[in-house]
Amino acid sequence: MVVDKITVRAYNTHDMADGKKEILRAAGDLLKKGPRFLKKRGDNIDPELRQRLYDDLETLRKKIKTREGQKDVDKLVTHLEAEFGRLFGYRRKSSLRENIEGMLWAVVIALLIRAFIIEAYEIPTGSMIPSLLVGDHLFVSKFDYGIRVPFTNLYLITYAKPKRGDVIVFHYPGHDEDRGKDFIKRVVAVAGQRVRLRHNVLYINGKPVKTRLLKTAQSCRDSDAEGCLCDLQEEDLKDDKYVTQHFSQVSYNPCQNRGDWPPGNDYIVPANSVFVMGDNRDNSKDSRYWGIVPLHNIEGKARIVFWPPSRMFHVVR
């Protein structure tokens, strides 16, 4: 005999006394676990007794479904708890235990989601202006590049590598006061590529990235650069287009453009690493200052802004 799955929602429990609610929870637990006990371990008991227990479970199910005979439900629950306890060591879970288990499972699921699927991140500085603003809350995908051991830098599986244009969150690789913090920057070069910034144009392997000037000598969107003038320009990587900001090179700008980088030969990105920059090129501490980001430091790829409301559903590009 198969006993259907039910819940105590067949009753309106809002107006019930706590004792009745407890009985209904106990009945639901019996109807969930009783058939499993009988199926897996019922061969060890008398066949007639096993059938009577199936029949009693079916009777209990029908009475709850039709909302009949509260006293009969109480008696059946008491009887079945005693029988399943005697035969299989069954014990009713208390409400406190159920609540604690529910909370623990919620915590475990939340941790698994955070470790393997998606994590929230808040933009703390203006280094990614204009693409991302201070105070933006966004979701970071944790599985774009592989599956890592939770809370470590070790990957169980890697099936992709970051590409140019990806906005990534990573553990800061430096050894100063920011060590251990999560940073967010854009990948501008990958292992083996040569990098140079000349007259605000990014060069990869000696070739300039296609760049289009959008606005010039306008007020910067960065609160740290109040009174300064900035240019906005679009960089086109064929598969990705994004906008960067830098200080204008007009003579009346009070803020100085950083100019070319590096001062010597092109920088060659080492193996198993990426070179990152902030889109706010003149107000970003990035690979130009503290070096490359090892692949194992990467937490995930920035995907979409979910807060504040004015920026909700803004896709990170």
Predicted local confidence at residue 274, as pLDDT: 98
Q: 294: pLDDT confidence band, cut at 50, 70 and 90?
A: very high
Measured CA to CA, the distance from residue 23 to residue 10 in angstroms comes to 13
More confident residue, 103 or 232: 232
- From the candidates 20, 71, 131, 185, which is the catalytic residue? 185
* CB 78, CB 56: distance < 8 Å: no
Strand 194-198, strand 267-268: pairing: antiparallel
**Is pLDDT at 94 greater than 70 in this prediction?**
no
**Domains of the chain by start residue, with CATH:** 8-92 (no CATH), 117-311 (2.10.109.10)
Measured CA to CA, the distance from residue 77 to residue 24 in angstroms comes to 9
Instruction: Mark whether 207 is an active-site residue.
Output: no
Instruction: Mark whether 210 is an active-site residue.
Output: no
- From the candidates 127, 131, 248, 273, which is the catalytic residue? 127
Give the pTM: 0.72
